[in-house]
Amino acid sequence: MTLRESNEVANQVIYLDCHSTTPVDPEVMRVMLPCFGESFGNAGSHSHAYGLAAAELVAEARREFGAELGVSADEIVFTSGSTESNNLAIFGAAKRWAGKRKQIVTIGIEHPSVLEPIRQLEREGWRVTVVPVFAQGDHDPGRAAEVGVVDLAALNSVLSEDTALVSIAMANHEVGVIQPIREIAELVHKAGAWLHTDATQAVGWMPLDLQEWQADLVSFSAHKFYGPKGVGALFVRRETTYSGARPIRLFPRTFGGGQEFGWRSGTVNTPGVVGMAAALRLANRRRLEKANEVAELRETLWSSLRESIPEILLNGPDWQIGGPRLPNNLNVAVPGIEGQSVMLHAKGVALSSGSACSSATPGVSSVLTALGIGEDRARSSLRIGLGRFHTKAEIQLAAARLSEAVRRLRG
């Protein structure tokens, strides 16, 4: 590294909040630009060349997005992001099952865009069951690799002919735990229910094979994998690719022009879906290389923090002993010091003390408390999300800045 490059790193703010959002990849911006000018037409206007050109761009984006996931194009419904996708999946499934089945199953570490719709359905009379995950605690160090993983035996015990939908995210947004989605799917389908999984955090860090997963509904959000904000997708299974499978028919949440197979009316965001398809393609192409690189950077960061802050604690599964965890995730606690205080004193480091999507609601992280972590430790926690553009120099500097902030707060 040259002196000039070293000075540039030293003076920059290091962004470590990639679970919240990511910058748009320059290649994604390049493919989106024509959609704001020469190809600006409404994809729903089929009476002239401008609309037809936009419609072809949308169709091609749908084909590419589906192909990257190993599914057909007509199984992809474009939305405004994973919050809308989750709501469409949960409310749409509940409406379809109404009068036939009355139970919805989830786990306590889900994102608010899953838990809140389910709580609303509970208020409307649905029976909601929250299945436990393996908890964090010194009382059972043998479970350190499984922290946050759903208890499959407990899940199986609550499933019945009354179960309509099970919603469990592929990868968690705070502690990065990866769920055994194929095993979950087999249990859910044995009960005749549908499985929804939020794959928002998984893209770019693990293989995306929806046929292997066997989930019936899968949510995505482009801005989590270097695509634009305000666009996402919901996979809705139409093909019968597993034993006993039936095409999924949701009840729509948005009515109007009948776009997106009638499940999500509204003018399609042409630049957004074009950019999202490109972002998914790039994420898949770069996954192996970048996942390994970022895992090494996380190791550098974790080792540096442990050396300078010996009392620091790891929240979530321990990847060093085989815990299923996203390679870009690190969630730590510094006992006796609130995470918010560390954030304020660590000048030049941008990170989060909890889920950004729920930051407007004060309180302790529901994910951490669902893991059995006490309130004091939860308040002392920091969520760190690394990305594919980080360098070792940046990570080392971030570790130094965080360590200095803790030292000053201790003093």
Q: What pLDDT score does 362 carry?
A: 59
Neighbours of 162 (CB within 10 A): 15
- What does the pLDDT read at residue 244? 63
Catalytic hit among 130, 357, 400, 409: 357
CA distance 276 to 274: 6
pLDDT in tens, the chain (411 residues): 554 455 455 578 999 999 999 999 999 999 999 999 888 988 878 889 888 888 999 999 999 999 999 999 999 999 999 999 999 999 999 999 999 999 999 999 999 999 999 999 999 999 999 999 999 874 455 678 899 999 999 999 999 999 999 999 999 999 999 999 999 999 999 999 999 999 999 999 999 999 999 999 999 999 999 999 999 999 999 876 666 667 898 988 888 888 888 788 888 999 999 999 999 999 999 999 999 999 999 999 999 999 999 999 999 999 999 999 999 999 999 999 999 999 999 999 999 985 344 444 557 899 999 999 999 999 999 999 999 999 999 999 999 999 999 999 998
Among residues 221, 190, 182, 188, the alpha carbon closest in space to that of 324 is found at 182
Counting Cα atoms < 13 Å in the Cβ hemisphere of 289 gives: 7
For residue 314, which amino acid is it? L
pLDDT at 333: 96
Side-chain half-sphere CA neighbours of 84 within 13 A: 20
pLDDT at 243 (0 to 100): 61
CATH of domain 27-279: 3.40.640.10
Two tokens at 347?
A: 């000048």
Domain chopping of the chain, boundaries: 3-26+287-410, 27-279
Q: Catalytic residue at 357?
A: yes
pLDDT at 263: 80
Angstrom distance (rounded) from CA 284 to CA 207: 8
Q: Classify domain 3-26+287-410 at the CATH class level.
A: alpha beta
Confidence (pLDDT) at 17: 97
- Terminal Cα distance for the chain, rounded: 34
